[in-house]
A = this chain, B = another copy of it.
Amino acid sequence: MASYKLLLLPGDGIGVEVMAEVERVIDWFNRRGAVSFETESDLVGGAAYDAHGQSISDETMRRADEADAIIFGAVGGPKWDSVPYDVRPEAGLLRLRKDLKLFANLRPAVCYKALAQSSSLKTELVEGLDILILRELTGGVYFGEPKEITELGNGQKRAVDTQVYETYEIDRIARVAFELSRARQSRVTSAEKHNVMKSGVLWKEVVTQTHKDGFEDVTLDHMLADALGMQLVRRPKQFDVILTDNLFGDILSDVAAMLTGSLGMLPSASLGAPDGQTGRRKALYEPVHGSAPDIAGQGKANPLAMIASFGMALRYSFDRGAEADLVEHAVSAVLDEGYRTGDIMADGCRLVGTQEMGEAVVKAM
């Protein structure tokens, strides 16, 4: 029987509570026995900073490197708002992405039928929505150098961030987008600001080139990032796969997430390149939502995005499509049965806590 090593990094705030529900799902698989998981838990973010002054330790990085997949909760909170920049909670997550070379961030924006009415958009515009955002995750302004603040005298400072993209970085994320689009509607919309940014010029050029290199069966469109933001709000169902850089992807995927009616529902996967020998990819799975310090520790958090993130691990790290479907259907089923955490509560539904929601998912499985 296949057995895999998972590193669980719950992080801060509600990360801890929602991770407990993933463990419940993992237990279910372990008991059932077609595939099994060995788990190890460790600290990241503010929790790691409190324990040893770093947002992720070298030892944790070593474990992350050895794991078959990392299941990540969320990091940050007001408690760490004034810790030094280099050890702020987010730095732990950024180090994982960068050091493990997790360049391909998959952010599905899927609107569950049972939740279409809780979107702020008109129901007919989001019902059945199914967008996949491919965000480049290890380049751009997140990591480019120089990245610094210098004193100019007279109380003046100058801050600099650098957006850098090389051809190979754009090419490899474009390939992932084209490949994944084939299991969908084979339509990719690439977003940049080539009218203002040189990185946008190169982005558009490389994506166009890669498209010609064996992906001409896929329909490729280009859209300016600002126009795409607008179109997401206006008519989201026009999109299938959206391909964009690290910073635009950060904002546009959050906008897209909000269209679906709840952030508490959305998973994500961050993938590396397949290893030359084993063919395996390094991978990290995390919910799109944050650590929600305002409701942390109260058992109110919605664990479905976190559980769905584990579902993505089954699909993308372990090639367990059937098991992934099982998790996804269980998530849909509990919604159809009317189970709701506070963030997605609606008239006539049953308000449950984090744990009860996790139990309902396992039951539905």
- Point out residues on A near B: beta carbons under 8 Å: 76, 85, 88, 90, 94, 120-122, 125, 141-142, 144, 147-149, 152, 155-168, 193, 195-199, 201-203, 225-227, 229-235, 247-248, 250-252, 254-255, 257-259, 263, 290
A159 to B251 CA separation, bound complex (whole angstroms): 21
Q: A235: which of B120, B122, B141, B201 is its contact (CB, 8 Å)?
A: B120
Given A120-B234, A149-B198, A247-B247, 18 more pairs with CB closer than 8 A:
A76-B195, A85-B198, A85-B201, A88-B195, A90-B196, A141-B163, A141-B196, A156-B167, A158-B164, A161-B162, A162-B162, A163-B163, A193-B250, A229-B252, A229-B255, A230-B255, A234-B258, A251-B251
A237 to chain B, nearest CB (A): 11
A258 to B155 CA separation, bound complex (whole angstroms): 39
A198 to B146 CA separation, bound complex (whole angstroms): 10
Given contacts A142-B196, A167-B155, A167-B156, contact A230 B201 (CB under 8 A): no
Q: Which residue of B lies closest to A227 (CB)?
A: B254
Number of copies: 2
Q: Are B201 and A149 neighbours in the complex by a CB distance under 8 Å?
A: yes
A290 to B226 CA separation, bound complex (whole angstroms): 11
* B-side contacts of A149, CB under 8 Å: 198, 201-202
* B-side contacts of A163, CB under 8 Å: 141, 160-163
Nearest first, the 4 closest Cβ-Cβ pairs linking A and B are: A159-B202, A159-B199, A233-B258, A226-B254
Q: Which residue of B lies closest to A143 (CB)?
A: B196
Given contacts A120-B233, A251-B225, contact A199 B165 (CB under 8 A): no
A285 to B315 CA separation, bound complex (whole angstroms): 51
Q: Are B162 and A160 neighbours in the complex by a CB distance under 8 Å?
A: yes
Q: Are B157 and A166 neighbours in the complex by a CB distance under 8 Å?
A: yes
14 A-B residue pairs with CB within 8 Å: A76-B195, A85-B198, A94-B196, A121-B122, A141-B197, A148-B198, A156-B166, A159-B198, A160-B199, A196-B250, A226-B254, A230-B263, A247-B247, A248-B251
Q: Which residue of B lies closest to A236 (CB)?
A: B120
A287 to B155 CA separation, bound complex (whole angstroms): 37
